[in-house]
Amino acid sequence: MKTIPKPNFTAWFVMQGFIAAMRHPDYRSISDPEMLGIYEKLAVKASKTRLVSRMIHALPYRLQYCIGELVTNRGRLRHFIFRKTEIRKQAAALLEQGKIKQVIVLGAGLDMLSLWLSERYKDIRCIEIDTSESQVFKIEALQQMLEVMPDRVEFIEGDLRNPLKAILSGSRQYDPLAKTLWIAEGFFMFIPEESVTRIFQEMHSASAKGSTVIFTTIPSKKITSAMGHVIQTLYLQKEKSPFNWVLPHEKVAEYIKSMGYYLVLQLPCDLLHKRYIGGKYKGNHNFAEDIHIANTPVL
Ligand SMILES: C[S@@+](CC[C@H](N)C(=O)[O-])C[C@H]1O[C@@H](n2cnc3c(N)ncnc32)[C@H](O)[C@@H]1O
């Protein structure tokens, strides 16, 4: 009997949380109806792959939102919408300049950013890398959802704890000389520090000078309430996706400098939330990921 491929648990959680946040009345104004439509179709398919996803998917969005925050922390679900909106804006602004010809998304999960970007920027090529469990599910789901598969987006299977160059050697469109936008959103915290460092070193030599990396970090493994931390730790262990690498945002500049990058922009998570909800923001920081944009020197 054919086994049904299932996406990585954390990829599903982010997608379902993102949908629940987009459906929340407070965040409707920053939701993109087109994106929401695509994600909802993907969520229907993902809901059939796990008991927990089936149960959550059957609930009204407001309840999904509350449960999502209960098992993580207050603000985490809206964080998905702010993080994704900001990364999409930053990526679009970089591509507008017309120099970047390749986008490579590491640990892409169920994210649809590369499809969105490739629709708007016709001269770019996108490559998504994730483990086979997520990729097989995503490709099969997209084949059923879309009339035509996007030919400028390539989905590659690979465990990124292994050398990036070997994974990219399986790509039909990867260009090591292209100015590249690398995106690692909600990903580095799941792999060991030595893999993160190796990936930064490899990205540097695997793309043209002046390439850019957008990435996120968590400041510590405990970014929830005490109860949320226990639930999260146990569940992530069960799903074989425990948090692994952490780095406070004030240490990021120094860390990447040692690998030849300089910081272009940093948006710690509290600043991100202030940016999107202004005066209504009543939070501490360190409850979700910080966003960073780094470049390699042009010369
Ligand atoms: C929290 S999800 C984030 C997905 C997506 N980037 C987003 O923001 O919606 C983390 C993703 O990293 C992927 N991942 C974790 N460890 C990996 C590894 N060693 N190699 C490749 N992908 C990995 C998971 O499969 C999952 O899709």
pLDDT in tens, 23-67: 999 998 888 898 899 999 999 999 999 999 999 999 999 999 999
Q: Which residue has the higher pLDDT, 90 or 232?
A: 90
CA atoms within 13 A on the CB side of 56: 24
User: Does the beta carbon of 161 sit less than 6 angstroms from any atom of ligand 1?
Assistant: yes
* % pLDDT > 90, the chain: 80
Answer yes or no: are the C-beta atoms of 102 and 183 closer than 8 Å. no
pLDDT of residue 155: 97
The C-alpha atoms of residue 221 and residue 233 are separated, in whole angstroms, by: 9
pLDDT band, residue 129 (cuts 50/70/90): very high
User: Does the beta carbon of 130 sit less than 6 angstroms from any atom of ligand 1?
Assistant: yes
User: Does the beta carbon of 14 sit less than 6 angstroms from any atom of ligand 1?
Assistant: yes
Q: Tell the residue nearest (CA) to atom 15 of ligand 1.
A: 190
- Read off the pLDDT of each residue in 96-107 and give the average, rounded to a whole number: 97
pLDDT of residue 72: 87
Which are the contacts of 159, defined by CB distance < 8 A and separation ≥ 6? 131, 167
pLDDT of residue 4: 75
pLDDT, tens only, 195-205: 999 999 999 99
Which are the contacts of 124, defined by CB distance < 8 A and separation ≥ 6? 95, 100, 101, 102, 103, 117, 118, 152
pLDDT of residue 114: 96
pLDDT of residue 229: 85
* CB count in 10 Å sphere of residue 111: 25
Ligand 1 centroid, distance to 70 Cα (angstroms): 22
pLDDT band, residue 230 (cuts 50/70/90): confident
* % pLDDT > 70, the chain: 97
Answer yes or no: are the C-beta atoms of 127 and 174 closer than 8 Å. yes
User: Does the beta carbon of 107 sit less than 6 angstroms from any atom of ligand 1?
Assistant: yes
pLDDT band, residue 83 (cuts 50/70/90): very high
User: Does the beta carbon of 216 sit less than 6 angstroms from any atom of ligand 1?
Assistant: no
Instruction: Indicate whether 234 pLDDT > 60.
Output: yes
Q: Compute the mean pLDDT over every residue in the chain, rounded to the nearest whole number.
A: 93
pLDDT of residue 252: 97
- Read off the pLDDT of each residue in 168-172 and give the average, rounded to a whole number: 95
Answer yes or no: are the C-beta atoms of 62 and 116 closer than 8 Å. no
pLDDT band, residue 70 (cuts 50/70/90): confident
pLDDT band, residue 105 (cuts 50/70/90): very high
SS3 (DSSP) at 32: coil
Helices 33-47 & 9-22 angle (0-180, nearest 10): 140
- Read off the pLDDT of each residue in 223-233 and give the average, rounded to a whole number: 83
Q: Which residues pair with 125 in a beta bridge?
A: 102
Range list of H helices, 97-171: 113-120, 132-145, 164-168
Task: Identify residue 150 by its one-letter amino acid code.
Answer: P
Task: Please state the pTM of the whole predicted model.
Answer: 0.95
pLDDT of residue 285: 64
Give the largest Cα separation in the chain, rounded. Answer: 55
Which pair of structure tokens corresponds to residue 286? 């360190």
- Read off the pLDDT of each residue in 137-146 and give the average, rounded to a whole number: 94
SS3 (DSSP) at 175: coil
User: Does the beta carbon of 85 sit less than 6 angstroms from any atom of ligand 1?
Assistant: no
Torsion from C-alpha of 223, 104, 30, 81, nearest 10 degrees: -20
pLDDT of residue 133: 87
Task: Identify residue 214 by its one-letter amino acid code.
Answer: I
User: Which atom of ligand 1 is nearest to 13's Cα?
Assistant: 1
